[in-house]
């Protein structure tokens, strides 16, 4: 009796699944650490609503040194109006202004004028609630 040797053509997927699970866990742990924000010391106010979480909004940030950012991307003062028309007005997005509390009032008014000149009529302002500010100072 002669036995024929047959090749096993099955793939063992267990090691593949193990590797995928490890990679998934690594990405789940490291993804929240990869987000970067701009360091802005927001002013305090008593009545603040939470910022909408939809993707149909953009944030215009003015840092303490006067640098402008549209979301996380730096924008020059000369290009601000064109970028606002292209990225906010044309795409019908809501714009929020976030300025450091040490930014001169004149600069904030100048930026708000450029927002208005770009054709954006509604502008939200981001601030911290007084209780949130007090909690963050205690830490």
The per-residue pLDDT for range 34-92, each reduced to its tens digit, is 665 656 666 665 555 555 555 778 889 999 898 999 988 899 888 888 888 888 888 88
pLDDT score of 18? 92
pLDDT higher than threshold 70 for residue 126: yes
pLDDT score of 127? 77
CB atoms under 10 Å from CB of 28, counted, come to: 9
**Nearest CA-CA partner of 136 in 50, 31, 42, 37:** 42
- Average pLDDT of the segment spanning 86-100: 87
Strand partners, 73: 70
Phi/psi of residue 49, nearest 5 degrees: -90, 155
**Running DSSP on this structure, what letter comes out for residue 87?**
I
Query: Which pTM does this prediction carry?
Result: 0.58
């Amino acid at each position: 009796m002669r036995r024929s040797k047959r090749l096993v053509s099955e793939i063992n997927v267990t090691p593949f699944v193990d590797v995928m699970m490890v990679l998934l866990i690594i990405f789940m742990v490291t993804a929240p650490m990869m987000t970067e924000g701009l360091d802005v010391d927001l002013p305090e106010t008593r009545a603040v609503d939470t910022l909408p979480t939809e993707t149909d909004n953009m944030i215009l940030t003015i840092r303490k040194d006067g640098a402008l950012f549209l979301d996380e991307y730096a924008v020059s003062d000369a290009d601000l109006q064109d970028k606002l028309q292209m990225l906010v007005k044309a795409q019908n997005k809501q714009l929020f202004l976030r300025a450091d509390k040490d930014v001169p009032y004149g600069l904030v008014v100048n930026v708000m004028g450029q927002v208005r000149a770009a054709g954006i009529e509604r502008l939200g302002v981001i601030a911290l609630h007084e209780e949130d500010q007090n909690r963050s100072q205690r830490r």
